[in-house]
């Protein structure tokens, strides 16, 4: 299995010669390879790289497959390079400093990609770099976990801000790094949750990413909610928000165990976010054949919704699979009866959503500011390395 892990880690270098369309297809292939490696032997290692980080790699390469614009080779290559770094960072997550280092390198590569995209990507890239710099400062031996949380929220929000563009590949690794050491501070989760609520109306996938960060802060269902955030960013279909239910079940149990009145405020914010997120299932959906990345996202979402206990072991999910199985059988019988005795028709719902339009131009100050943020990132990374070495 170590050989396959090596192929999954370093094989994507071959994607650097492909055009955008083939990169999308190959990205799905790499995601599938990571999934096989993780499911067959998640204990496999190759040097310091571990297959246990496969969820990050699968999410990262799924997001690569979802990117459909621009078609320039330079941006595609930079995206592949950043995705490879991010997937490697996930495989190095046993040591948080290594993972943060990979995150910093990927963020730096994506600044160049944002410059080449030339459609308003630089400001989100700048925010992401600043966020990663804060994560690096907070991840030092004597660092503050508040910095990790704040930086993680900034970086996750900025990565998810431009779905189906290069910067989005940073999202899975940011979510992982943020959740590695929960701060267990209520105000962290409340601030991030409030930001998610504000953004939920216009940027549902950003709200999903921020709630995953909030869950990471409280150590509650971060993996499951992170998966939902990635699926939302990849497919953009509002119905995929339903995949947050298993994560919610785990989070409710964990939050209830903390016995705080603040949980009520958090619940109200989560409900308000859901109200602002809600869309009709056919709202914005496109007729026709969905893209491969969307099909893969829906398939993974169905797996998450029907059998989350195969993702994580949690008491809140013990009876989930049984209920889902009964619901599927009962739903099928209900469908048969409805088809027999009513005029109801069954049509597969449209699941493809159009690419978002990003029409802004990069402001003049964005590029110099991005270079300055990269310098800050280098200093933060240096401080992190120094703290680890000493």
Partner 1 sequence: MRPGHLDPAQNDVAEAVSAYRLMAAAAAVVLALAGRGSVLVLGGLLAVVAASRLASVSAVVAAVAVQLRWGTASLSAVAGGQAVLGPAVALGSTRAAAAMALAALTVALLAPRPAVLAVAVGVVAGAVAAGPEVPHDMGVRLAGAAAGTIVALAARWLPFRGPLALAAALLAVAAAA
| Binding region for partner 1 (CB under 8 A) | 242, 245-246, 248-249, 252-253, 256, 261, 263-264, 267-268, 271, 274-275, 278, 281-282, 305, 315-320, 322-324, 326-328, 330-335, 337-339, 342-347, 349
In the complex, least distance from residue 227 CB atom to partner 1, rounded to whole angstroms: 16
CA distance 240 to 262: 28
**Rounded to an integer, what is the distance from CA 63 to the centroid of its chain?**
8
Bridge partners, 50 (sequence order): 45
The smaller minimum CB distance to partner 1, of residues 268 and 354, is found at: 268
In the complex, least distance from residue 66 CB atom to partner 1, rounded to whole angstroms: 25
The smaller minimum CB distance to partner 1, of residues 275 and 371, is found at: 275
The smaller minimum CB distance to partner 1, of residues 187 and 278, is found at: 278
The smaller minimum CB distance to partner 1, of residues 49 and 211, is found at: 211
The smaller minimum CB distance to partner 1, of residues 56 and 214, is found at: 214
In the complex, least distance from residue 42 CB atom to partner 1, rounded to whole angstroms: 25
The smaller minimum CB distance to partner 1, of residues 166 and 241, is found at: 241
In the complex, least distance from residue 304 CB atom to partner 1, rounded to whole angstroms: 12
The smaller minimum CB distance to partner 1, of residues 146 and 253, is found at: 253
In the complex, least distance from residue 46 CB atom to partner 1, rounded to whole angstroms: 37
Residue 159: CA count within 13 A, CB half-sphere: 39
In the complex, least distance from residue 39 CB atom to partner 1, rounded to whole angstroms: 23
Q: What is the 3-state secondary structure (H, E, C) of the chain?
A: CHHHHHHHHHHHHHHHHCCHHHHHHHHHHHHHHHHHHHHHCCCCEECCEEHHHHHHHHHHHHHHHHCCCCCCHHHHHHHHHHHHHHHHHHHCCCCHHHHHHHHHHHHHHHHHHHHHHCCCCHHHHHHHHHHHHHHHHHCCCCCCHHHHHHHHHHHHHHHHHCCCCHHHHHHHHHHHHHHCCCCCCHHHHHHHHHHHHHHCCCCHHHHHHHHHHHHHHHCCCHHHHHHHHHHHHHHCCHHHHHHHHHHHHHHHHHHHHCCCCHHHHHHHHHHHHHHHHCCCCCCCEECCCCCHHHHHHHHHHHHHHHCHHHCCCCHHHCCHHHHHHHHHHHHHHHHHHHHHHCCCCCCCCCCEECCCCCCCCCCCCHHHHHHHHHHHHHHHHHHHHHHHHC
In the complex, least distance from residue 196 CB atom to partner 1, rounded to whole angstroms: 15
The smaller minimum CB distance to partner 1, of residues 20 and 279, is found at: 279
CA distance 387 to 390: 5
The smaller minimum CB distance to partner 1, of residues 113 and 196, is found at: 196
In the complex, least distance from residue 245 CB atom to partner 1, rounded to whole angstroms: 5
Q: Which of 141, 12, 135 is nearest to 381 (CA)?
A: 135
In the complex, least distance from residue 341 CB atom to partner 1, rounded to whole angstroms: 10
């Amino acid at each position: 299995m170590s050989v396959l892990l090596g192929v999954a880690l370093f094989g994507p270098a071959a994607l650097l010669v492909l055009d955008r369309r083939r990169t999308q297809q190959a990205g799905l292939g790499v995601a599938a390879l990571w999934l096989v490696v993780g499911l067959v032997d998640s204990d496999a290692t190759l040097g310091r790289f571990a297959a246990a980080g496969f969820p990050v790699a699968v999410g990262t390469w799924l997001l690569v497959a979802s990117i459909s614009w621009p078609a320039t080779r330079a941006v595609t290559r930079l995206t592949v390079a950043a995705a490879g770094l991010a997937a490697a960072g996930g495989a190095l997550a046993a040591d948080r400093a290594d993972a943060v280092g990979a995150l910093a390198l990927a963020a730096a590569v994506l600044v160049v990609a944002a410059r080449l995209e030339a459609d308003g990507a630089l400001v989100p890239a700048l925010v992401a770099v600043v966020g990663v710099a804060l994560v690096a400062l907070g991840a030092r031996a004597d660092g503050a976990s508040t910095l990790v949380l704040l930086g993680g929220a900034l970086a996750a929000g900025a990565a998810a801000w431009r779905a189906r563009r290069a910067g989005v590949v940073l999202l899975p690794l940011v979510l992982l790094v943020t959740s590695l050491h929960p701060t267990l501070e209520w105000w962290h989760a409340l601030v991030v949750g409030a930001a998610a609520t504000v953004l939920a109306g216009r940027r549902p996938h950003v709200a999903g990413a921020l709630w995953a960060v909030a869950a990471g802060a409280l150590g509650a269902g971060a993996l499951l909610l992170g998966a939902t955030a990635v699926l939302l960013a990849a497919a953009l279909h509002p119905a995929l928000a339903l995949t947050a239910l298993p994560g919610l079940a785990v989070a409710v149990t964990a939050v209830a165990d903390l016995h705080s009145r603040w949980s009520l405020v958090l619940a109200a914010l989560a409900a308000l976010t859901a109200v602002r997120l809600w869309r009709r299932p056919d709202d914005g959906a496109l007729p026709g054949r969905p893209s491969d990345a969307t099909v893969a996202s829906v398939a993974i979402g169905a797996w998450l919704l029907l059998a989350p206990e195969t993702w994580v072991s949690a008491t809140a999910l013990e009876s989930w699979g049984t209920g889902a199985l009964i619901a599927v059988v009962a739903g099928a019988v209900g469908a048969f009866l409805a088809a027999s005795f009513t005029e109801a028709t069954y049509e597969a719902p449209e699941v493809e959503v159009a690419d978002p339009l990003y029409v802004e131009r990069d402001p003049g100050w964005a590029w110099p500011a991005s270079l300055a943020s990269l310098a800050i990132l280098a200093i933060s990374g240096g401080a992190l390395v120094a703290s680890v070495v000493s």
